[in-house]
């Protein structure tokens, strides 16, 4: 039986420029808005921002930490990037239980997921939906 | 051939593109996304596949520097095999201009071609906003 906690608390994550640069190499996404402070100055953001998919990955990994390999199939993650995460930001990934039901023989579990800073600014939020046999 | 992104309209299907995921990609991706996790995994999580898929998609559109991600959804349907060649079918779902940015919505399916038959691995929806006045390409 899979444990369904009321809240899942991820690791506190700091997005340093070094980590963002490493992500650019790992993912192949070398958009200068993420890795080139001089270029970023010419944009409306005025500073480098973290790849959205890196923040997405951090949220998803929080769920992997809780649910393990059951994340491989039957999971749906939907997020909106509400505000740019500037390089240097420290965020707190969280998931809050929303519902647990049964549909067509499947167990459907939903969480609200988010990444916010210490001041409560929400950078990314959305839902995680699991369908388990 | 370069895609004229200003000419994209909802319903347009993009040319099928392919990408692969190997051990090296998986190792590097997981090391930076989750440095707290030290155990070795022999599987790639759906967000790792989605990351590779989205990059392949954005590369195929030759989007300019300064393009920013607005939203993302990913639904995983089956386990992906490391070393597989994945193919993607993508459809434009929305285009609109907001404050100097072109917002492009893209819906994609990712298939694993390792077996004889294609297996649907993952579905995703991506919205990006693209600066309309730039001369620098990614």
User: How much is the average pLDDT of A90-94?
Assistant: 98
CATH dotted code for A7-132: 3.10.129.10
Q: What is the arithmetic mean of pLDDT over B36-49?
A: 82
Number of neighbouring beta carbons within 10 Å of residue A92: 15
For residue A27, give the nearest of B55, B74, B77 by CB distance.
B55
Residue A133 reports pLDDT greater than 70: yes
User: Could you tell me where the DSSP H helices lie in chain B?
Assistant: 23-33, 46-60
Query: Is 0.90 exceeded by the ipTM?
Result: yes
- The verdict on whether A29 is a catalytic residue reads yes
CATH of B5-131, one of 3.40.50.2000, 3.10.129.10, 3.40.50.2300, 3.30.1180.20: 3.10.129.10
Q: Mind listing the pLDDT tens digit for each residue in B109-125? A: 999 886 667 889 999 99
Reported confidence tier of residue A75, pLDDT bands at 50, 70, 90 = very high
Domain ranges, ordered by start, for chain B: 5-131
Could you give the C-alpha distances from A63 to A52, A67, B35, B47, in angstroms and in order? 17, 6, 15, 11
CB contact under 8 A, A27 and B52: yes
B64 touches chain A (CB under 8 A): no
Sign of CA dihedral A101, A65, B77, B11: positive
Q: What is the pTM of this model?
A: 0.93
The pLDDT of residue B126 is above 90? yes
Q: Where do the structural domains in chain A lie, given as residue ranges?
A: 7-132
Q: pLDDT at position A2, please? A: 83
Closest-CA residue in chain B for A67? B45
pLDDT in tens, B75-108: 999 888 788 889 999 999 999 999 999 999 999 9
Query: Over the stretch A35-67, which tens digit does the pLDDT of each residue have?
Result: 999 999 999 999 999 999 999 999 999 999 999
Q: Mind telling me how many Å the CA of B13 is from chain A's nearest CA? A: 23
- Contact flag A57-B79 (C-beta cutoff 8 Å): no
A49 tagged catalytic: yes
Q: What is the DSSP string of A53-101?
A: HHHHHHHHHHHHHHHGGGGGSSEEEEEEE-S--BTT-EEEEEEEEEEEE
B1 pLDDT more than 70: no
List chain A residues with CB under 8 Å of B33.
Answer: 23, 54, 57-58, 61
pLDDT of B118 reads 81
Structure tokens at B106: 């893209």
């Amino acid at each position: 039986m899979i444990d369904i906690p009321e809240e899942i608390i991820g690791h506190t994550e700091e997005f340093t420029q070094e980590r963002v640069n490493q992500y650019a190499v790992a993912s192949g996404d070398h958009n200068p808005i993420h890795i080139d402070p001089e270029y970023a100055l010419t944009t409306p953001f005025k500073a480098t921002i973290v790849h959205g998919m890196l923040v997405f990955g951090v949220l998803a990994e929080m769920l992997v930490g809780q649910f393990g390999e059951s994340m491989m199939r039957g999971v749906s993650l939907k997020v909106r990037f509400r505000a740019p995460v500037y390089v240097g930001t420290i965020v707190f990934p969280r998931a809050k239980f929303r519902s647990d039901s049964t549909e067509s023989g499947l167990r459907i579990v939903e969480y609200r997921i988010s990444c916010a800073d210490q001041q409560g600014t929400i950078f990314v939020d959305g839902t995680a939906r699991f369908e388990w046999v | 051939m370069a895609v004229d992104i200003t000419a994209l309209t909802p319903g347009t299907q993009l040319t099928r593109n392919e990408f692969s995921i190997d051990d090296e990609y998986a190792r590097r991706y997981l090391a930076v996304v989750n440095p707290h996790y030290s155990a070795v995994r022999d599987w790639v999580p759906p967000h790792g596949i989605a990351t590779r898929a989205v990059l392949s998609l954005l590369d195929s559109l030759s989007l300019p520097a300064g393009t920013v991600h607005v939203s993302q959804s990913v639904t995983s349907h089956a386990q992906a095999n490391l070393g597989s060649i994945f193919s993607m079918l993508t459809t434009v779902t929305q285009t609109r201009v907001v404050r100097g940015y072109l917002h492009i919505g893209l819906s994609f399916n990712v298939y694993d071609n390792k077996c004889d038959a294609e297996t649907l691995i993952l579905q995703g929806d991506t919205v990006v906003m693209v600066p309309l006045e730039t001369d620098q390409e990614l």
